[in-house]
Structure 1
Amino acid sequence: MSRGSFVFTPMALRSLQLDEDMLERYKYKRQLASHQLNNYLLKKEARDRAPLRTSTALPAAVCQDAVVQNALYTGDLEAMQHLFPRGSTANLIIEPQGGEMRWVATGEGLWSLSYEQELTTPLHITAGRGFADCLRLLLQRGANVDLAPGGTTALHESCENSQPECTKLLLIHGANANAVSEDGLMPLHVCSSPESFECAKYLLQYGAAINGRTLDENDTPLHVAARNGLPDHVDLYLRYGAAVNKENDEGLTPLNAACSQPQELQELQHYFTVCQMLLGAGANVHTMDQDKRNPLHMACKNVNPDIVDLLLASGACVNDMDYGGEAPMHNILKVVCYKFSHQPERIVRALLNHGSIRVWPGALPMVLKHCCVSPRTIEVLLNAYSFLKVTDTWVESVSPEVFKHKDFYESVFSLAMTPRSLQHLARCKLRNVLDGRVHQVVPKLDLPAFIKNYLLLEYRGFIH
């Protein structure tokens, strides 16, 4: 038997006795696998950043045995012990059957629909599915731990699928913790879910580069953790010395990345905790991306009130303009109708108390039209003006769908041709005098709490 061959079982041989069309398909697939394998071998040395290690292992053989594949994909340890006895090699490349279909150019302007093949190995299959006992057996049989015919190593697979026991096994057997995939990712970069925390810990214990960069965006692991709202990962990386103000190719630091990520209601607290950690580690609140948007712009756009309060308390500039000439106030008002459950009124109130620019009065009807689903946002916004020119356009701007807020909007419309109350005018005068220092001065005044809250634009449910 040649050194590069593999023993096929009788069952597999019988399965190959198909009609002529099926045999032609197998022939095409073998040619494709050979082509991919050759490309992989040519690129492997350039992709691998680790020092070259001499190895006496036999060259990998391409395996299409359905019985072997079935044992691997189901984690059948007993079958694998039979298929990989002592003295055999597990250094194989698996060519899966089937897969997704794609159009492939065949020459002369013709295209054919073919199966998309992605080469893998027994290590990849077992590591990605958490079959630790099967993985251990393969490693004992001498499987090449860093083989990556499909562009990723088995370590990438175990980390991406959050399999810490398999990750540890691979590292113990010499897997390169800094192996770079075909897409330019190290294993730490694919630890992008809460469940991958233990994998990240093992990687760092075995020498993973804490500030390793991706090839496409120049992201660090801290960028990935911040973008995905992973407080445990961020805390771990900071303890290992992650650079908190590194910028990627888009000019984003980890803080910018966390603030710019769209956030569902249940994710707000996770992202707030991440930003709290980053700021505590010295993150710069003034860093701008290529469009001159700073973290405050992004936090307003994604409507996270706690992050906005945190950034403002850390010295964020409330009136910085991006390349489009928009301040943070513009960003929050544009998304109120989509995220009114995120309490956008808290952000509008905080911005105004920190001296934000106000909306041009002539544009208030348009703001009313887009933000009327959040009456508290409208209340805070209108209370920043000493005079309101309420017209029929205002009435037409309020959607009938907000009828449940009828009392509030009737209080707004009642101001037509009517001056604001003396109490409100006094509030506006004092706020104008303080000019952006309202949030600092008012809490220190020797006044009853309800008056302080009134000066800070507390919600009352009506306009007077």
Structure 2
Amino acid sequence: MSGEGRFVFTPAALRSLQLDEDMLESYKRKRQLASGYMLTKQARHRVGSDTRSCTFVRPPALCHDLVIQNALYTGDVEAVQRFFPRGVTSNLIIKPQGGDMRWVARGEGLWSLTYEQELTTPLHITAGRGFVDCLSHLLQRGASVDLAPGGNTALHEACDSCQSQCVKLLLFHGANANAVSEDGLMPLHMCTRPESLECAKYLLQFGASINRQSLDEDNTPLHVAAQNGLLGHVELYLNYGASLDKKNYDHVTPLNAACSQPQEKKDLERYTKVCEVLLRAGASITTEDRDKQSPLHMACKNVNPDLVDLLLAHGASVNNICYNGDTPMQNVLKVVGYKTEHQPERVVRSLLNHGSLRVWPEALPKVLQYCSVSPRTIEVLLNAYDRLKITDNWLKAVSPEIFAEHQGFYESLSYLQNTPRSLQHLARWNLRNFLQGRVHEVVPKLQLPTFIKNYLLLEFRDYLH
């Protein structure tokens, strides 16, 4: 260690840190170029075609006054009006205190930690926090509406924080609805929460492009809405002519995006509704991403039973294989242990009823080991076979804790170790084997009592016989 909390690095470490420093400097130059572009654009806007006007626009001043910053961050409209009276520019650059810590070279092979701070403006601060009165006053004092010293315009900030009235006000004062941020995003791409629906409506009314893609990931606004399960946004964008089958960088369509987004149990219903709207509008059920994962692959991986049923009803293929060699059935079985609350047994049953390939019998003990926390999943899988060669290894695959928790079911499994399946089950197996992948279609049409139909469709009974 040397003085002032600094220390000398080894040559190898210095080379690595120098690379980080070079990347940081490149990032800063990119931001400065973006900022310079926005300033030049603003100058052109102010000057227009009148060559007799002043062709030089003074760049915004850097504001260090904490009193002014505090007034902006707290939305104190009276203070803002005092600090920005008529004739005083509101185009200020503010460097907030704090930020992320980064290593910065100080010369002579010494590095020290310092804060990397984002630049902002009074317009960004008030728009992002919903201080409409303060924002209105700044705009009336000539604030540059498309200035972006930190990479985003104030319109981006307002959309990101779902401040619809601020979005409306900025657009009325000429904000560019298609402004591209330093990260390659338009304001519509920033509408990622249900509360941002009004923001999206205003943007579209003021000419936002509905199919323009982000620079890095090639996402359209519809991709973003589908990824976030935003039903209202999806319906809105489709009404404005959003493309259903445009692919992003990973060859993902909006439908694929909705199916592949990780989903908590509370989110399953809204993602299903989003996919229902997309399918009703004509989204392709067969489009695969770069890894050959179909929407059904993804829905199974996320264990969304209603979505799986929806996709199967629209003709999704149950036995397509992705680049990893996995079918939709394998996708769901891999995550059963983590998604028991999602009812994985329903997904497995639907796939089998639609003709999914069964698990190779020799692999069943391994499946039992990983899926034993969901006895109903095991029940459905085993009821797809007419005979089972159960050994002691099967029972050892179930931990004592899980066996005790689901004792009735696993005792019924142990009884089958030296006992053939019941005649009732064998009759079911023969009929299902005859129908193959048409079970889901034919059985409901048979003139049979409901309880027999349910039995043929692998209804859960919580024991094996």
Per-residue CA deviations over 1:269-318 (Å, capped at 9, x if unaligned) read 11001100110111111111111110100000000001100000001000
Q: Secondary structure at the match of 1:416?
A: helix
Q: Secondary structure at the match of 1:291?
A: coil
- Once the 2 structures are TM-superposed, how far is the Cα of residue 114 of structure 1 from its aligned partner? 1.3
Counterpart-to-counterpart distance in 1, 2:175 and 2:457: 58
The 5 A counterparts of 1:16-95 are 40=31, 42-44=33-35, 53-56=44-47, 58-95=58-95
Counterpart-to-counterpart distance in 2, 1:123 and 1:184: 21
- Once the 2 structures are TM-superposed, how far is the Cα of residue 48 of structure 1 from its aligned partner? 10
Any unmatched runs of 5+ in structure 1? 1-20, 22-34
Q: Secondary structure at the match of 1:104?
A: strand
Q: Secondary structure at the match of 2:111?
A: strand
Counterpart-to-counterpart distance in 1, 2:41 and 2:327: 47
Give the letter for the 2:332 counterpart: I
Counterpart-to-counterpart distance in 2, 1:276 and 1:427: 33
What is the aligned-residue identity percentage? 67
- Once the 2 structures are TM-superposed, how far is the Cα of residue 361 of structure 1 from its aligned partner? 0.7
Alpha carbons 2:63, 2:93 under 8 Å: kept:
yes
- Once the 2 structures are TM-superposed, how far is the Cα of residue 58 of structure 1 from its aligned partner? 4.6
**Structure 2 length normalisation: TM-score?**
0.89
Alpha carbons 2:38, 2:147 under 8 Å: kept:
no
1:407 aligned residue: 408
- Once the 2 structures are TM-superposed, how far is the Cα of residue 97 of structure 1 from its aligned partner? 3.0
Alpha carbons 1:354, 1:437 under 8 Å: kept:
yes
Alpha carbons 1:47, 1:180 under 8 Å: kept:
no
- Once the 2 structures are TM-superposed, how far is the Cα of residue 262 of structure 1 from its aligned partner? 0.8
1:447 aligned residue: 448
1:424 aligned residue: 425
- Once the 2 structures are TM-superposed, how far is the Cα of residue 416 of structure 1 from its aligned partner? 1.1
Per-residue CA deviations over 1:193-250 (Å, capped at 9, x if unaligned) read 1111111111111111101111111000111111111111111111111001110010
Change (3 A) 1:328 1:420: same
Counterpart-to-counterpart distance in 1, 2:423 and 2:186: 64
Alpha carbons 2:179, 2:186 under 8 Å: kept:
yes
Alpha carbons 2:34, 2:149 under 8 Å: kept:
no
Counterpart-to-counterpart distance in 2, 1:378 and 1:207: 54
Per-residue CA deviations over 1:28-48 (Å, capped at 9, x if unaligned) read xxxxxxx99986564357689
Change (3 A) 1:47 1:301: farther
1:161 aligned residue: 161
2:323 aligned residue: 323
- Once the 2 structures are TM-superposed, how far is the Cα of residue 105 of structure 1 from its aligned partner? 2.6
Give the letter for the 1:54 counterpart: H
1:371 aligned residue: 371
1:282 aligned residue: 282
1:5 aligned residue: none
Give the letter for the 1:418 counterpart: T
Are residue 106 (structure 1) and residue 109 (structure 2) matched? Answer: no
Counterpart-to-counterpart distance in 1, 2:76 and 2:232: 34
Q: Secondary structure at the match of 1:379?
A: helix
The 5 A counterparts of 1:164-179 are 164-179=164-179
Counterpart-to-counterpart distance in 2, 1:52 and 1:447: 79
Give the letter for the 1:338 counterpart: Y
Counterpart-to-counterpart distance in 2, 1:47 and 1:174: 14
Counterpart-to-counterpart distance in 1, 2:27 and 2:397: 61
Q: Secondary structure at the match of 2:104?
A: strand
1:31 aligned residue: none
- Once the 2 structures are TM-superposed, how far is the Cα of residue 173 of structure 1 from its aligned partner? 0.3
1:259 aligned residue: 259
Change (3 A) 1:252 1:40: closer
Counterpart-to-counterpart distance in 1, 2:427 and 2:393: 28
Moved more, 137-146 or 80-89: 80-89
Change (3 A) 1:38 1:76: farther
Change (3 A) 1:65 1:401: same
Counterpart-to-counterpart distance in 2, 1:40 and 1:328: 44
Aligned residues: 431
Per-residue CA deviations over 1:46-94 (Å, capped at 9, x if unaligned) read 6899998521565321211111111111111111111111122111111
**Structure 1 length normalisation: TM-score?**
0.89
Q: Secondary structure at the match of 1:434?
A: helix
Moved more, 248-257 or 39-48: 39-48
Give the letter for the 1:348 counterpart: V
- Give the RMSD, CA atoms, in angstroms: 2.0
1:28 aligned residue: none
Counterpart-to-counterpart distance in 1, 2:288 and 2:128: 38
Alpha carbons 1:50, 1:179 under 8 Å: kept:
no
Counterpart-to-counterpart distance in 2, 1:106 and 1:151: 26
The 5 A counterparts of 1:140-155 are 140-155=140-155
Counterpart-to-counterpart distance in 1, 2:408 and 2:38: 66
2:339 aligned residue: 339
Any unmatched runs of 5+ in structure 2? 5-25, 48-56
Counterpart-to-counterpart distance in 2, 1:121 and 1:50: 17
Change (3 A) 1:442 1:190: same
Alpha carbons 1:72, 1:125 under 8 Å: kept:
yes
Counterpart-to-counterpart distance in 2, 1:124 and 1:233: 24
Runs of 4+ in structure 1 deviating by more than 4 angstroms, as ranges, are: 35-41, 44-53
